[in-house]
Amino acid sequence: MVHISNPVDTPIIIGTETEYGIAIKNVSEQDPVAVSTLVVNIYKDNNLKKITWDYDQESPLVDARGFISEGENQKPDKEENTIINDILFNGGRYYVDHAHPEYCTPECTNARDVVIYEKAGDLILHLSRIAAEEVLPAEQEIIIYKNNTDYKGHSYGGHENYLMSRQIGFDDIAEGMIPFFVTRQIITGAGKVGSENGAEPAKFQITQRADFFETEVGLSTMVARPIINTRDEPHADEKHYRRFHVIVGDSNMSEFSIYLKVGITAIALKLIEKGIIGSQFNLVNPVMQNQMVSRDLTCKRNILLEDGRRFTPIEVQRSYLDLAHKYLQPYEITSVMEDVMIKWAFVLDQLEADPMSLDCHLDWVIKKRIIDAFVERHNLSWSDSRVRMMDLQYHDIRPDKGLYARLKKNGRVHQIVGHEEVVRAITDPPTDTRAYFRGSCLKNFPGEIHSASWNSMVFCTDSSSLDKILMDRPYFGTKELVGDLLKNCTASELVEAILSSKCE
């Protein structure tokens, strides 16, 4: 085993994980585990069917507060591993998580790339769905939703990950990010008809997830969900890196919402790293106020801070943005970050003037606009089952059936990236993170790879031994660093070159 790392200081690395809702029409009984397994396994390239996911580096029970949670870290056997996991040419991962197909983007260095690779995931799910339907009886149809609730009390996640410096204390991150997340939903919410989980009734609210969060800080992602998740599983050198695992956001259809969601969060974390954000925005009862913000469609109801001040969610978000303008140095602000900050200001100004003016930009506003029109046209109550079906149909990934997809096709929503970029991202990894090495090795040497994970590749170049290459720094494996090796070497030569290198 050899460690390969890049000593260059790393900016925040971003990735998202999306659990999709899934169902089959015209069956006597739903089996989401079986259909999820079908859509994931049928997509897998034949050359990659024997490559497994390496679970050795995973530690989901380690808590950032300094202890290991009780429970069993179950790992699938080899046969199950090959069935439920698909490691993608683009450097991402596609697998079955409980009763859902889940897609994880490769590691990205900026918000725009996250949009490209998350939207590539939507296309991968669509292609999987088409292929899976071909082996089902003719009358059966698979429906996949990119949302966060089945309206039966079950919520599933649209998670974000930010790889950042281990030097920042976890308590400092939690303190600075709770007010940010409670107020961020006015930008990132996907919109929701009704309420769930015993929460206060609502005709329509900003976010799909607020009703399901019951604590401020904790490890669980399934019950008693916390605003701040404490999982300490960096998938990188744990001495240098921390992966901040965010479970409080919605799954977004809108490219604009995805772009700002991850872009402004990375900026807020930068402010915490620099010591700019501390306790100045601490909230009274954040869980309660999280649900309150979700129900305030004006975005102007005051929330209460511990020091007695009252701010609107817009004002809290504007405070974070103002601090970014004041304290981030020009050399720290990339072109994408600059664009994010411009769009962040634009959205806050529009929310202040009239939230419904963002009906081409933000998911919750787009959804409310089309449901408002439907309710008025048919003289319906918001509790009508057809209204809830409209909500679900907004998230349908089928291009000809999904309401968001049809709006996009007709040029009715704001786009961030081009369709050609998204199509390329199905098979081409980012060039500026270790995902390039992972994806390129899968393309070039599928028969000589035993297993892979986020921070390792295990090669089997002969019949007698396995060679594990640890990629414990996110910038190991960029095109700049290993492009020539991958272009000119066989798998054996590549492994030998890396094993004999002096990099540590």
**pLDDT 10s digits, 269-283:** 999 999 999 999 999
pLDDT computed for residue 62 by the predictor:
82
Q: Is 97 a catalytic residue?
A: yes
* pTM (two decimals): 0.96
CA distance readout (Å), 95 to 271, 305, 427? 34, 41, 16
Which two structure tokens, joined as six digits, stand for 112?
């725009």
Please tell me which residue in 45, 63, 97, 296 is annotated as part of the active site. 97
Q: Rounded mean pLDDT of the chain?
A: 93
The pLDDT, as a whole number, for residue 319 is 98
Q: Which residue has the higher pLDDT, 57 or 314?
A: 314
**How does pLDDT run across 351-403, given as a tens digit for each residue?**
999 999 999 999 999 999 999 999 999 999 999 999 999 999 999 999 999 99
At 70 the pLDDT is: 67
d(CA 290, CA 409): 34
pLDDT above 60 for 9? no
Residue 10 sits at φ, ψ, to 5 deg, of -105, 130
Quick check: 8 pLDDT over 70? no
The reported pLDDT for the residue numbered 503 is 45
Domain residue spans of the chain: 150-394, 427-499
pLDDT at 258: 98
Q: What is the arrangement of strands in the sheet containing 93-97, beginning at the earlier edge strand? A: 85-87, 93-97, 100-104, 13-19, 158-165, 241-246
